[in-house]
Amino acid sequence: MRGLKWLARLRRHDWTASIIELVIVVVGIVAALQVTNWNQDRLDRARAHRYYQRLHGELVADRQSIDQTVALWNTVSTYGRAAIAHAERGDRVAGSNWKTLLAYYQASQLKTIELEDTTFVEMRESGDLGLIADETLRKRLADYYRMTGIGTRAMILRHDPAYRMQIRGLTPWHVQEYIWSRCFRQLAGTLQDYIDCPAPISEQEAAAVLEGYRRSDTLLQNLRYWMCVGDRDRRHAQGRRPAGGGHGGCGPQVAGSGA
């Protein structure tokens, strides 16, 4: 009897209404999920756009830093070639002992490149690199920041060359003080300017300093090395891979800091 009553209730049940209610519930759930996904996609796109803007700004700043360092190196390289010409052949800059001494000293100048990776590191550590939808772009960015962090590009002009220490050890202190106060100008940020300043000492005194440079057993070798490394790094910064191995074909520095 109970079974018959149960079957009777099933026959009287409005199955059409139940099915419609079920469909409404399912459609509502699917719609809610779609709305949630759409909203998350919208938030992701907005976050990715902010990341793109920050990456662009940092890459532009990197490019400016590289360009400024390359420009400075071109100036330093000109001084270095003049100093090498004197060390090898006795050629003086514009026939002046002072200008030649100044070329030796300014050839030791350098400027490091500080590349910005804040945004990329933040994206990597927060698991947001997937927001860069273009896989090729994502790989190129990863390669770029890998090189700036631990690879060759990270070492562009991050040097403390033996020549820099050596020339400062051989140059009288009062001459160095004069160079820093009258022949060098610090501009905005890390920008530098080198000035063709008048001589603080006589040509005879400058000649004596130059003779001390030329008596050094290692100064010329270290200057050649420094010019080679700087030129290698300049080419690399401009996107041209240098020839050679770890030293870029320049060979090792030479120890020694005196005459």
d(CA 104, CA 92): 11
151: pLDDT strictly greater than 60: no
93 and 191 part of one domain: yes
108 and 200 part of one domain: yes
174 and 227 part of one domain: yes
More confident position, 17 or 182: 182
Residue 60 lies in a domain: no
In tens, the pLDDT along 64-122 reads 888 888 888 899 999 999 999 999 999 999 999 999 999 999 999 987 777 788 898 89
**pTM tops 0.75:** no
Task: Tell which of 155, 181, 213 closes a domain.
Answer: 155
More confident position, 62 or 189: 62
259 and 168 part of one domain: yes
124 and 251 part of one domain: no
165 and 146 part of one domain: no
Q: How many CB atoms lie within 10 A of CB 213?
A: 22
Look up the domain containing 244 and give its range.
Answer: 73-113+160-259
Residue 31 lies in a domain: no
256 and 228 part of one domain: yes
137 and 245 part of one domain: no
Task: Tell which of 155, 183, 217 closes a domain.
Answer: 155
Residue 33 lies in a domain: no
- 252 to 58, 187, 255: CA distances (angstroms): 34, 33, 9
Residue 21 lies in a domain: no
127 and 187 part of one domain: no
d(CA 92, CA 98): 9
30: pLDDT strictly greater than 90: no
Instruction: Provide the number of structural domains found in the chain.
Output: 2
219 and 239 part of one domain: yes
In tens, the pLDDT along 196-248 reads 999 999 999 999 999 999 999 999 999 999 999 888 877 777 664 434 444 45
- 8 Å CB contact between 110 and 161: yes
State the alpha helices, DSSP H only, in 216-256.
219-237
